[in-house]
Structure 1
Amino acid sequence: MLITKPVLRPKGIYILLLLLVLSSGCSVTKVVPEGKALFWGYDVKVKGENDSSKRASDMEAELSATVRPQPNASILGLRPKLAIYNAFYTEKEKGLKHWIMTKLGEPPVLFSEVDTASISQIMSNRLHNRGYFNNTVGSTATIKGKKATIDWTANIGEPYRIRKIEYTLHDSLPVHRDLEQTRAESLLKTGDPYDLETLSAERVRVDGKLKNEGYYFFSPDLLIYSADTTVGDRKVDVLLRVKNIASAKALQPYTLDDIFIFANYSVGDSLATRDTIDFQGYHYIPNENYVRAKHLLRGVFLEQDSLYTREEHLLTTKRLAAYSAYKFVNIEYKVDTVEDNSLDAFIYLTPALKKTLRAEAQMVSKSNGFTGPGINVSFQNKNAFKGSELLNVEFSGTFESYVGGRGSGEVPEGVEQEGNANLTSYELSAKASLSIPRIMSPFKLRNLRTEFAPQTRIGAGFSFLNRVGFFQMNSYSATYGYNWRPTQTVTLDATPINLQYVQLSNTTEAFDRYLVQNPYLQRSFENQFIIGSIYQLTYSTQVYEDRTNQFFDKVILDLSGNLLNGIQSVTGFPPPTDEEPRTIIGNRFSQYVLLDNDFRHYLNFGKESQLVTRLVAGAGYAYGNSVSLPYVKQFSVGGPNSIRAFRARSVGPGTYAPPEETTFSYFDQTGDIRLLGNIEYRFPIFGFFKGAVFVDAGNIWSFKEEFDDNGEILREGGVFDSKNFLNDLAVGTGFGLRVDVEFFVLRLDIGIPVQVPSLPEGERNVLRDFKGSFSGENSMVLNIAIGYPF
């Protein structure tokens, strides 16, 4: 949602100034007791001139993390939480000042709370674990006034390195043979520095390998290392062996015998196996009144008489957990009562609430600048046809007002505003979707061995849109597609059948007049079918939350009309022309190809700070049976998730400057090509308040010139020029405040225009004329939105 008038009240400005004063002007040692000092900061240096491993900087970061307590939190050299604590300090245990002091503030961290000797010992132990068996760690404290700093210095030499790795082979038990076979993938390498963390990871790796060889009762704790450092020359021999206390159960592999599936389990149910259905070697309990066995077993990868493996266990658990029909999945194993080298598996499936009805009121904010209240009613059935199919039926209605446009403030004198001055709109829609946790296909396909269940999606919908004072539009849609995650980072989405019919009706004279003046836009609004396919590939490493660098890339290929046009060509239809296009059921069908790519990189600093970059590039080309892309497929930029210094869908194309009578009306700027880049630095302020500074740049363009009936160019400067497109970019900067309470993010971004491409050359840089106002030419824009922009 975009607000074009100032909403930052004087009271809000005073509060902001007060916080700035508190952060910078108040004495940070105000409440530090006499004779005490504030723990102001520390530094850790690792000196290892003879260390060939070159790990000094890594060790400094690791040793720094051992310092406890940490100094008071600082931002850009300021300590706002400590300043708030000092400003509102009170000895009372209740009241507003006490609440602000304790909830928003932070008490001073005193130098006396830091046990330097204990921390030095911990640092020395960390160095020892990294192979620096001979190290010394010392500290020096400096106190100036009431502020104390501590410098730790660690002296290290060459680390001990692994000379030889051995595994115990003195026993004929199968576990030792299987243990030896894991060596090929060992994390321990001769010549590497001794590292306790790597040794621990190797135990976990070996345990995982043995778990996949049937050793159900084995655990990493049954493995122990012996390290011999007496071989000399800073070398160490490592021996990995099984503890002597390991039980016989832990040292033998198990196969699976009976597999029981409790398909409608509730806590407290009797575990009796009466009313059991034997289906394909499984004991299905109690019956098929909930989920049919043939559908459920597509998510079960445990097989009778097969070797127990942790891989099959986890695969089964994750696949069944993805079934909408179930809330909880649990698998237990018990040693068979007859054969002591076999396990019986018990799969307990707790059903989710099958049917739900939900109604909610909402505030709708769209990328095209319309915003307003809405209501949404949805019905869900999580097991519609006894195969864990998720049926969703949704009805919604919204009433919206347009707060976008390029201009701000009042309509200029002498400019006639087109259509309805209030620019209102309402929309009614109904849609139904069915998600099936398996591939539905005319061809028989093997069951995919992935932890994420493939989905077949079927959908249909209808919407009625009324832009008061302009037009009404009916949209019908139907889709059939598939969704599959072969790995944690890759998602494939294919919609081979994507049908859409758009019908324009009840247009006003003002809207008709505008379309007549813009034939290119008129063609994009024609009643037409979109008959084609959409393919999407998403790659994301954001599932790995502890990574410093995270990547996201989404590629979309949208095709329409090619198959139908090919069939009509083969069957003898005359070639299409702009005046006589090919039709289906009396209406033109669109023919185009569209490719869009959204790439993002997240660079994480610490726990909450991020530098996020995004590059979006897309192009759509109409050909054959179409002169232009359908209006609903054209690109636009500007708005709260795009270039935040410009109002929604107001930028471009290229350097085109729309006439004043349209800047204060509903008409958006659209194009065939889009280029958008963003850089945003996100940082914590305090509590659930986060801040951001950003720079946005981008524009849209057309592939070819657009002419009116008189041969005049409609949008001068709107065509893409590969040699000059960088000069066409709209550029904005700004800052934002986000209220992030994990499940909900309220975002307020203030955008400041830097370069306006629609202005004459030499006048496009408007930052020098910045007046800090929310009204007037090239003013700031306040964006209020839900969620992060990207």
Structure 2
Amino acid sequence: MTQEPVRYLLSKYWFLAVFILLLCTGCSVTKTVPKNDALFVGYNVKVNGKDDSSNRAGELETELSATVRPKPNLSILGWRPKLSIYNAFYTEKEKGISHWIMTKLGEPPVLMSQVDTSSISQIMSNRLHNRGYFNNRVNSTTEVNNKKAIINWTAWVGEPYRIHKVEYTLQDSLPVHQAIEQEQDESLLRSTEPYDLTTLTQERVRIDAVLKKRGYYFFSPELLIFSVDSTVGNRQVDVLLRIKNAASAKALRPYTLDDIYINAEYSLGDSLAVRDTISVNGYHYIPNENYVKAKHLLRGMFLEQDSLYSREDHLLTIKRLSGLSAYKFVNIDYQIDTLNNDKLDAFVFLTPALKKSLRAELKMVTKSNGFAGPGLTVSFNNRNAFKGSELLNVEFTGNLESQVGGGGSGRQENNETSAQNSNLSSYELGVQTTLTLPRIVSPFQLRNLRTEFVPKTRIGLGFNFLNRTNFYQLNSYNASYGYSWRPKQILTFDATPINLQYVRVNSSEVFDSLLRVNPYLRRSFENQFIIGSIYQTTFSTQMYEDRTNTFFDRLTLDLSGNLISGLSSLTGSTKPTDDEPRTLIGQAFAQYVLVDNDFRHYLNIGEESQLVTRLSTGVGYSYGNSSTLPFVKQFSVGGPNSIRAFRARSVGPGTFNDTTSRALSYFDQTGDIRIESNIEYRFPIAGFFKGAVFVDAGNIWLLRNTLDESGEIVRPGGKFEAGNIISELAVGTGFGLRIDVEFFVIRLDLGIPVRVPYLPKGERFVLSDFNGSFSGDYGMVLNIAIGYPF
């Protein structure tokens, strides 16, 4: 048996999975519901706000819906998969495979008797009261049909109470009272706005934050008391603010910083007593020159002697020091100075991380084009390479692939081509060294940026060797110098002004024969320099996990050859002929501009489900010294992180299809333009097992046609035509299983081709040819990968 085992089993027994699915869907969802009970299948919350001028009915309905507990069983388009599994394998036995499936993969029915409607109604009423609807009323009704229950809640709210005035009852002239009064213009409480308890709470937090900036280290929001007088009339309230009478004297006193101590080699459990120190720029530094030098630590210090204590400076210092790779924990403690009650001494404790680490990852590469083989990655990290918290990473990679069987969802090949493609193999070796410095290293004097995140300088140097047996050997050398900084949490800028790459190809006679008849391929595989710059902007709100909608967008601009071309023009250098490029030390250099954008939207549905959409577009234009983009810069689609119903890099360009080239299933299909879109619904199954259904679409195109020596178009149908975009998209669908254990994800995605762009018009939809196996031109494609696709 030459087929990979997992694919073989799935191709032979896929019908068994379908049978189990049909078994589950065939069971009545109320099968295990007790006689005098009903299955809780849904609820509706309606806010009657016809008399509410604030027009917040939709907002209130969302808030009240969140109070309903328990929630109905998980439902996907009306089907309740976990409940269906529970019912299909229901057993009263406490052991056995049925019990395991029922309890681990299934979910018991959520019963009507478990829903306390009166308690939920009271909670809803309290929520409305907190939003200013003091005279609200909430009722519920239950509809039961065929042992399925739906609960309807209706809330009558009327007009909310509004703020008449806000008074700060501060009776004396303490500095803390003056500080509060000076910030009244920034108050969140405004006259005529609806009363809202949440806003009052936020106002307390705002005032506390203001005071923390002004030295009030011991103050807390709990010391602020709001009183609400609703007897004003006309649905209005007066809001009164005061400070607790029991507030301590130190809570009402601003503090300045006195001595600042830095222990840069603190271990958990060590004594907090201050040892012998040396003075460095006004800081008391405990010597540890064997670890991180003081001058590098002080770039992250924003606490200064004789300045007012500021919570902002405190948090900024912690975040900047935590961004140093040499440390795993950062803590700052404050104590009242023993000689002056108005001053604080600050103690900064930094706990070093493990300096050196070695990690090895062994993987099995399995591709849908029949290639498989082992891969090994060994990574070495030194988190304090030169005593400045520099992170040195050296990564060695090795991959071996051999053709062990045929692959589906590739291009059509004749018998001669299939025979030629046998016994193909390749191996790849590489080393990449990256040095990351937690500071900007520049020929220009730059001030220390006051940002939460450490600005970084990155220096890279690497080599990669790819050998495709009987065809070519590709040697790639790279060097880069760039910067990365985050002005805010959601935004990252990466600038690599120096990006160098040299590609050298050693080809066989067989490959040379392919190059002679394919000018596009020949120019793509030229020995050449890539000398340019890369600029990248990343916007992401994915860290806000409590939001319903989060976004990710990465825009990349890649420029090459312009500086060298300009210098060549100044020196009078010209192209020998129209077909031959100018050279740099005897080698051609690439000249192009490339723009790439990856946009993603994450819609959180319920507590664990998610709908992810993605649009990835890119275009590269070669000019001047180049007639095509370098092979390593060209776009491709297909594979585990792209269109999963087609093997990696097998789609396009456009409608191009070559059924005669021996190299077809061995070399990538690439182009100048990429348009790709994906939509994936992710849902929980049980424990760390998660599922997904997806649809992928996309293709690549050429900006211009290339002619061979006889004047024929080399890849007919590959040129981009705006009016043909939709009809030339490759489309695939499928479903996936993910084993998500938090620190890594193993992903198995089964792709099914829907539309094949290189078939004749009218024959491109191939779903009717699907036979449920991996065999055939349009069979299923199994993608095995680590991590989510996007």
Q: TM-score, normalised by structure 1?
A: 0.94
SS of the residue aligned with 2:10?
coil
SS state of the match for residue 230, structure 1? strand
- 1:159, CA displacement in angstroms? 0.9
Deviations 1:118-176 (A, max 9, x none): 22222211111111101222333455675554433322211111121222332201111
Q: Is the counterpart of residue 413 in structure 1 residue 415 in structure 2?
A: yes
The aligned counterpart of 2:275 is 274
Q: Give the residue type in structure 2 aligned to 1:534.
A: I
Look up the equivalent residue of 1:196 and give its one-letter code.
L
Deviates more, 1:246-255 or 1:9-18: 9-18
Asked if the contact 1:369/1:647 (under 8 Å) is kept, the reply is: no
Aligned-residue offset at 1:91? 4.3
Partner of 2:317: 316
Which sits farther off after the overlay, 777-786 or 230-239?
777-786
Who is 1:362 aligned against?
363
In the alignment, does 2:485 pair up with 1:484?
A: yes
- Distance of 1:442 and 1:123 partners within structure 2: 62
How much does 1:366 deviate? 8.0
Q: Is the 8 A contact 1:2 1:782 kept in 2?
A: no
Conserved? CA contact 1:405–1:664, under 8 Å: no
Contiguous gaps of at least 5 residues in structure 1: none
Query: Within 5 A, what are the aligned runs for 1:594-743?
Result: 594-662=594-662, 664-743=664-743
Amino acid at match of 1:8: L
Partner of 2:305: 304
Q: 1:754 and 2:754 equivalent? A: yes
Cα deviation, residue 726, structure 1: 3.4
Q: Secondary structure at the match of 1:513?
A: helix
In the TM superposition, what is the alpha-carbon distance from 1:405 to its structure 2 partner? Answer: 7.5
Q: Distance in 1 between matches of 2:185 and 2:581?
A: 66
Alignment-mate amino acid for residue 435 of structure 1? T
Letter in 1 for 2:238: D
Instruction: Tell whether the 8 Å contact from 1:524 to 1:629 is kept in structure 2 after alignment.
Output: yes
3-state SS of 2:453 partner: coil
Alignment-derived partner of residue 27 in structure 2: 25
Structure 1 residue 77 and structure 2 residue 66: aligned?
A: no
Instruction: Decide whether aligned partners of structure 1 residues 555 and 719 sit closer, same or farther in structure 2, where only a CA change above 3 A counts.
Output: same
Residues 496-540 of structure 1: CA deviation (Å, up to 9, x unaligned): 1111111111x2222111111112211211111111111111111
Aligned equivalents of 1:688 and 1:4: distance in 2? 20
Contact 1:369 1:639 (8 Å CA) reproduced: no
Taking a change above 3 Å as real, the CA distance of residues 367 and 129 of structure 1, as seen in their structure-2 partners, is: farther
CA distance in 2, matches of 1:728, 1:146: 49
Structure 2 CA distance for aligned equivalents of residues 4 and 760 of structure 1: 33
Equivalent-residue separation in structure 1 for 2:411 and 2:723 (angstroms): 36
Q: In the TM superposition, what whole-angstrom CA distance separates every residue of 1:215-266 from its partner, at most 9, and x where no partner exists?
A: 1111111111111111111111112221111111111111111110001001
Paired residues of 1:604 and 1:610 also in contact (CA < 8 A): yes
Q: Cα gap change, 1:648/1:37 in structure 2, threshold over 3 Å: closer, same or farther?
A: closer
After TM superposition, give the deviation of residue 5 of structure 1 in Å: 6.2
SS at match of 1:134: coil
Write out per-residue CA displacement over residues 301-330 of structure 1, whole angstroms, 9 at most, x where no aligned residue: 111111111111111111111111011111
Could you list the runs of 5+ residues in structure 2 that have no partner in the other structure? Answer: none
Deviations 1:457-498 (A, max 9, x none): 111111221111211121111111111111111111111111
Match of 1:8 among 7, 10, 23: 10
Note if 1:195 corresponds to 2:196: yes
Verify the 8 A CA contact 2:160 2:235 in the aligned structure 1. yes
1:399 aligns with 2:400: yes
How many angstroms apart in 2 are the aligned matches of 1:606 and 1:632? 42
Shift, 1:645, TM fit: 2.4
Q: Take 1:143 and 1:416, find their aligned partners in 2: how far apart are those partners?
A: 62
How many Å apart are 1:447 and its aligned residue? 0.6
Within 1, Cα distance between the matches of 2:241 and 2:370?
65
Q: Deviations over 1:270-317 (max 9, x none)?
A: 334333110000011133221101001111111111111111111111
Deviates most, 698-707 or 297-306: 698-707
Equivalent runs, 1:191-340 vs 2, <5 Å: 191-340=192-341
CA–CA distance in 1 between the matches of 2:574 and 2:39?
A: 86
1:136-155 paired onto structure 2 within 5 Å: 136-142=137-143, 146-155=147-156
Q: Give the partner amino acid of 1:357.
A: L
Question: Residue 212 of structure 1 contacts residue 308 of structure 1 at CA under 8 Å; is this kept in 2?
Answer: yes
Per-residue CA distance 1:747-790 (angstroms, 9 max, x = gap): 23333333322222333333454444432233333322222221
Q: Please tell me whether residue 186 in structure 1 is matched to residue 187 in structure 2.
A: yes
Range with greater deviation from structure 2 (123-132 or 365-374): 365-374
- Residue deviations 1:626-685 (CA, integer Å, cap 9, x gap): 221111111111222222222221221122122333475412211111121222233334
**Greater CA deviation, 91-100 or 616-625?**
91-100
Question: Which whole-Å CA distance do the structure 1 matches of 2:368 and 2:262 have between them?
Answer: 48
Equivalent position SS for 1:59: helix
3-state SS, counterpart of residue 176 of structure 1:
helix
Deviation at 1:594? 1.1
The offset of 1:54, in angstroms, is: 2.2
The residue type paired with residue 413 of structure 1 is: N
Matched residue of 2:232: which SS? coil
Structure 1 stretch displaced more, 187-196 or 405-414: 405-414
The answer to whether residue 70 in structure 2 is matched with residue 60 in structure 1 is: no
CA-CA distance at 1:384 after TM superposition: 0.7
Change (3 A) 1:148 1:707: closer
Q: Which AA in structure 2 matches 1:376?
A: T
SS in 2 for 1:660: coil
CA distance change for structure 1 residues 369 and 787 in 2, over 3 Å: closer, same or farther?
farther
Structure-2 change in CA distance of 1:601 and 1:314 (3 Å): same
What SS does the corresponding residue of 2:573 show, helix, strand or coil? Answer: coil
Do the aligned partners of 1:772 and 1:779 also contact (CA within 8 Å) in 2? Answer: yes
Residue in structure 2 matched with residue 444 of structure 1 by the alignment: 445
Secondary structure of the corresponding residue to residue 626 of structure 2:
coil
Aligned equivalent of 1:427: 428
Q: Structure 2: which amino acid aligns with 1:677?
A: S
Give the partner amino acid of 1:746: I
Q: Say what the alpha-carbon RMSD is for the aligned residues.
A: 2.6
Distance in 2, matches of 1:128 and 1:497, equals: 61
Q: Which amino acid aligns with 1:218?
A: F
Deviation at 1:698, TM superposition (A): 1.9
Deviation per CA, 1:554-606, whole angstroms, max 9, x where unpaired? 11111111111211221232346444422222211111111111112222222
- 1:512 corresponds to: 512
**Mean Cα deviation higher: 388-397 or 404-413:** 404-413
CA shift in 2, pair 1:252/1:632, >3 Å: same
Q: How big is the shift at 1:388?
A: 0.3
- TM-aligned CA distance change 1:497 to 1:526, over 3 Å: same
**Given the superposition, is the C-alpha separation of residues 611 and 72 from structure 1 closer, same or farther in structure 2, using an over 3 Å criterion?**
closer
Give the Cα–Cα distance (whole angstroms) in 2 for the partners of residues 352 and 268 of structure 1.
Answer: 15
Deviation at 1:9, TM superposition (A): 4.9
2:531 aligned partner, one-letter code: I
* Change beyond 3 A, Cα 1:131–1:515: same
The 8 Å contact of residues 578 and 626 in structure 1, kept in 2 or not, is answered as no
Equivalent-residue separation in structure 1 for 2:668 and 2:407 (angstroms): 7
1: CA distance between counterparts of 2:761 and 2:221? 69
**Structure 1 pair 729–627 and aligned structure 2 pair: CA distance change class (3 A):** same
Provide the C-alpha distance between the structure 2 equivalents of 1:764 and 1:143, rounded to a whole number of angstroms: 48
Amino acid at match of 2:642: S
Q: Residue type of the partner of 2:621?
A: Y
Give the Cα–Cα distance (whole angstroms) in 1 for the partners of residues 369 and 176 of structure 2. Answer: 65
Letter in 2 for 1:323: L
Q: Is the 8 A contact 1:688 1:741 kept in 2?
A: yes
TM-score (norm 2): 0.94
